[in-house]
Structure 1
């Protein structure tokens, strides 16, 4: 209890000192190394950045799964990567799989395959064991996008208290998610330089597909951003549009965008699995599908790298599917 009380007193003081004293670091939580295999594979993260061209967010996922693998090796007493075997790899997958969701396990298997290929290339492993790591079985387009109807999106927006500072910010973020189908990371990365008020344009840079998209700036979205910037945004030199409302007044991250979207969806009483920022992105796509836009145009609008990523939304084209079901099928054949 004494340690807990001491920590609750020290942490606010440390945050204040970081704001008041340039370069102050102080004591904090012990941080794990970026690469848990720094001794035997010291250049692996550099390989991911320079040779594979991965972005920092992807490398962060690699680090997470590598730490899980390193913890398992420590648990089973494997200290040398040269001792890796099919039994060790299958044991890790068998233990890790039941604890995580299917996408997380798939990403962990992908990380492990890349890491094993790298170890073989660097001579740490005599054999390439990456082929022994099989991805969990899945069927393409087996799921349904977790979208909500546009009427429910309007319920979510109505539930935002636009009189408060955080409400003005959250309302603008939710409009960006629902109107343009942006990802949470794209909303968090939006800067004041991306808003072209003279030409009513909104620029989204460095999308997942590696491209930049320019949208017409909606009057409703523009008004919400202006209301936030003029009346609620803290005075700061940061160029990011959306900032924290409490000290330290730093730009928010993608996790905060998802958290706020989840909060308002739950507040509206909407029950949906894994509610979050991507729910509103799916709702934007569903609205475009209902308006009879082609999947190619929809994929370009929301920034899909591959047209196949948009195909799953054909499962929510209810009117078109109804015509196929009620017709004789000649047009389809």
Structure 2
């Protein structure tokens, strides 16, 4: 199917690991890998088999021990032939280890590992406590893991091997280190909050003799001290115009951007959308689980509906999964919230839009700003975008230019 020369097919199938190569190709094809990807990977894994054979390997289970040597050999050969100094190790190691994970039960690639729980042995049960006792959402629990992972790295850098060695001075120096890393105050405050909860739990469980949470200081963050990261509607149109909708990726990204700027959805809300959330008959779009814990049903805009139809018909991979948006490259999995923000950032930068921390929230803020400019009251705006409290929407009053102008004029001055 993929190689037209029978001599090439005979060479691959005649290899001592030909059955493994063929199983790998079947797996790639079953996961919708492009032909060009298969054409590049099969010769590479075949070369790995020949390299392993020259080193005395005669069985599949002997191959993992030779991966590092093969990667080093191929990188050196690539540099010698092309003169390039670019590292090719990832491009070589990835397909080889992927093939081994298919044909060798129990083999785990050395690439990205599952996100481990920091302090799992020292303070067992903490993340279960967050989920079961405090009722935190999985995404919030993940942020705790991320924050504590930074804390664990810091302890490793300064040579602290056990949390029993913690002291107020260590905790203070960690917060100074985080504050000096160029992070936003809200990020540092979030790390401090996660650490305080962790220390209180460790004391409650009798792991720490005293409650050290009070020793964790955090920067003062004032409400309404910033302004939303919105852009003008003319800039929004520039972003949308920069999407090439002639391929699957462009059709998907255009639909995502329209959802961001039309309804002000969050990235995770778009990532969670399923086919069941789109009611074509009643022309409704349901957002079943918002950040505030409630649901919203929007009228389905015909512009958004056309973009979704275009993607569903000509871009979405064939799959039994009910999620709407998928990765555009194999293996096809539902797209995540981080990828949605990354795509929004890509098109903002492509359009030359200069805004702090460009991403999905930039377009969400722009959708809200358009409602404010249209003189909707803040309660209505907050309900539309899924704010739990009206206080969360108050920041948009800072950019209600017309209302601020009237306030600045004062009594009677508008007549002048």
User: What TM-score, normalized by structure 1, do the two folds share?
Assistant: 0.92
Distance 1:301 1:43 in 2: 38
The equivalent of 2:284 in structure 1 is: 201
SS at match of 2:297: strand
The equivalent of 1:60 in structure 2 is: 142
Count of residue correspondences: 329
The equivalent of 2:271 in structure 1 is: 188
The equivalent of 1:45 in structure 2 is: 127
The equivalent of 2:241 in structure 1 is: 158
Q: Which runs of 5+ in 2 are unaligned?
A: 1-70, 76-86
Distance 1:23 1:50 in 2: 35
The equivalent of 1:295 in structure 2 is: 378
Match of 2:346 among 263, 273, 286: 263
Distance 1:162 1:77 in 2: 53
CA contact (8 A) 1:17 1:24 kept: no
CA contact (8 A) 1:175 1:221 kept: yes
Distance 1:309 1:329 in 2: 32
* Post-superposition CA distance 1:134-161 (Å, at most 9, x none): 2212221110101001111111111111
Q: How does 1:275-286 map to 2 (within 5 A)?
A: 275-286=358-369
Q: How does 1:81-92 map to 2 (within 5 A)?
A: 81-92=163-174
SS at match of 1:135: coil
Deviation larger for 109-118 or 34-43: 34-43
Bigger-Rg structure (1/2): 2
Distance 1:6 1:194 in 2: 43
- Over the aligned positions, Cα root-mean-square deviation in angstroms equals 2.2
Cα gap change, 1:7 to 1:210, in 2 (>3 Å):
same
The equivalent of 1:74 in structure 2 is: 156
SS at match of 1:49: helix
The equivalent of 2:408 in structure 1 is: 325
SS at match of 1:261: helix
Cα gap change, 1:254 to 1:22, in 2 (>3 Å):
farther
Distance 1:240 1:199 in 2: 20
CA shift, 1:318, in A, is: 0.4
* Post-superposition CA distance 1:200-230 (Å, at most 9, x none): 1111122111111111111110111001101
CA shift, 1:16, in A, is: 6.4
The equivalent of 2:301 in structure 1 is: 218
CA contact (8 A) 2:175 2:218 kept: no
* Post-superposition CA distance 1:275-320 (Å, at most 9, x none): 1110000000100001111111111110112211100010010011
CA shift, 1:270, in A, is: 1.3
Q: How does 1:297-312 map to 2 (within 5 A)?
A: 297-312=380-395
CA shift, 1:327, in A, is: 3.0
SS at match of 2:180: helix
Match of 1:31 among 99, 113, 120: 113
Match of 2:205 among 112, 122, 127: 122
Match of 1:316 among 395, 399, 408: 399
Distance 2:382 2:400 in 1: 15
User: What TM-score, normalized by structure 2, do the two folds share?
Assistant: 0.75
CA contact (8 A) 1:35 1:42 kept: no
Distance 2:221 2:200 in 1: 23
Distance 1:158 1:179 in 2: 15
* Post-superposition CA distance 1:203-258 (Å, at most 9, x none): 11221111111111111101110011011111111111111111111111111111
CA shift, 1:36, in A, is: 2.1
Match of 1:144 among 193, 207, 227: 227
The equivalent of 1:178 in structure 2 is: 261
Cα gap change, 1:226 to 1:325, in 2 (>3 Å):
same
Deviation larger for 9-18 or 259-268: 9-18
CA contact (8 A) 2:98 2:109 kept: no
